[in-house]
Amino acid sequence: MRFSLGDVVRMKKQHPCGNDEWEIMRVGMDFRIRCLKCGRMVMLPRPKFEKSVKAIVRSITDTETDSKD
């Protein structure tokens, strides 16, 4: 999967606040993600992040291509 800044992903496990959707704030060897319900930010190493992602809910690249048409 390809991830970019601003993408919203659904994780396999819920956050203690009850939400499972996160926004990607940083991409690289580590990922910084922000909970969309409570705002908590978490840093995860790339292998753990990629293993924990269930689906991409909203992708910034899809939004950009829609607006160009």
Domains of the chain, earliest start first: 8-61 (2.30.30)
pLDDT band, residue 59 (cuts 50/70/90): confident
pLDDT in tens, 8-51: 999 999 999 999 999 999 999 999 999 999 999 999 999 999 99
CA dist 55 → 2, 4, 37, 46, 58 (Å) = 11, 14, 18, 16, 9
Instruction: Give the Cα separation of 8 and 22 in Å (integer).
Output: 5
